[in-house]
Amino acid sequence: MKLKKTVLLFLVALLLLTPLSACRKEPTPAPSPSPSGSASPSPSPSGGASPSGGGGGGGMKMGLGIVATVSKSKSAGTEDGAAQTDMTIAAVVLDQDGKIVKCVIDAVSASIAFNKNGELVTPADTEFKSKNELADSYGMKKASSIGKEWYEQARAFASYVQGKTLEEVKDIKVDEQNYPTGADLKASVTVSVGGFIEAIEKAVSSAQDAPESLSEGDALRLGVVTDMSKSASATAEKEGLAQLTVTVAATTQNNGGVITGNILTSVSFTKAGTITTDLSAEFKSKNEMGESYGMKKASSIGKEWSEQARAFSEYVVGKTVAEVKGIAVSEGGQPQSEDLKSQVTISVGDFIRAIEKSTVAG
């Protein structure tokens, strides 16, 4: 019997911060919540922040926005095919007047290659690094007209928007390809900033009240963890599967190493079908899906995914990264302590790893 030559595109992104706006039609919920554009932000983000007014953290807010696409994915032919996801991530802290006081920008480009027989070419244990993690090894500096690496330009843009409102960020002058045209900005940023601006807009628009523990001097960081271990080559009985899980944590931390803010959500890039199926369709985050995600009925504690993610996020606020790493979990990553497992039964292993990457030891 011939091997089936199609590879299903199944890219799952798990993002630890406010709900993202993304680009795919509402997917059928996965039966298991593995640790794991432009759409409206979720009105009820998961995380250590108040979903209603009341002004935690002296009236400050936290938010995260993601611009994500799988449009570069392609089927195999004479050359290997690829299931590719490209994500631009922006996290912000806003003051009581809605001005950006902290901003961090990162990006992930992950491509899972497969051949015309549906066999994986990319090893299943591959971990993709974010562009900030790649740092100088990303290799932009040599080609840059200003001699700056990608992470340096992203950092410069993030600094540039601090002190600005969303409207001021949206008014930044760019050309048709979204390259900066203002002399003050293009001296330090020559990459296209369209994705940066869109991600910041989504972060600000979906921002929620920060915990009371957060102060303006706290550091804001992003952590990214990827996992493609569930990808599989095609067999005589089964189509191949290119599955990528991306977990992102945005965390604020004070000088003592204590976590003062952390918000969780996730978004799934899912589509049953071949790699060429509807790559430009929109998708929703699990928070946007809300109860339609469908976990509550199967949950032993009667909690939807978004409710459990919010509970975990609130649980880590006030802890150091060492204390977060010390949270007792089962082999499958499920919480074991009575105080936590009464609220969270999903796997939190990649939550913890991403939070660790978004903090400094303390």
Q: What Å distances lie between residue 95 and 113, 199, 201, 335, 362, CA to CA?
A: 43, 18, 15, 34, 26
Domain that holds residue 283: 7-357
pTM: 0.81
Q: Residue 204: inside a domain, yes or no?
A: yes
Q: Residue 157: inside a domain, yes or no?
A: yes
Q: Residue 199: inside a domain, yes or no?
A: yes
Q: Residue 1: inside a domain, yes or no?
A: no
How many structural domains is the chain composed of? 1
Q: Residue 2: inside a domain, yes or no?
A: no
Exposed (0-12), middle (13-18) or buried (19+): which is 254, by Cβ within 10 Å?
middle
Report the alpha-carbon distance of residue 348 to residue 335 in Å, rounded. Answer: 7
Per-residue confidence in pLDDT tens, the chain, 362 aa: 444 455 555 555 544 443 333 333 333 343 333 333 333 333 334 455 544 344 456 799 999 888 888 878 887 888 888 888 888 999 999 999 999 999 999 999 989 888 888 888 999 999 999 999 999 999 999 999 999 999 999 999 999 999 999 999 999 999 999 999 999 999 999 999 999 999 999 899 989 899 999 999 999 999 998 888 888 888 888 877 888 888 888 999 999 999 999 876 665 543 333 454 456 655 556 655 678 879 999 999 999 978 888 899 899 999 999 999 999 999 999 999 999 999 999 999 989 999 999 998 65
Rg (CA), the chain: 20
Q: Residue 262: inside a domain, yes or no?
A: yes
Q: Residue 185: inside a domain, yes or no?
A: yes
Paired tokens of 73 = 């994915």
Q: Residue 131: inside a domain, yes or no?
A: yes
The answer to whether the beta carbons of residues 224 and 357 sit under 8 Å apart is yes
Amino acid identity of residue 263, one-letter, is I
Report the alpha-carbon distance of residue 77 to residue 273 in Å, rounded. Answer: 17
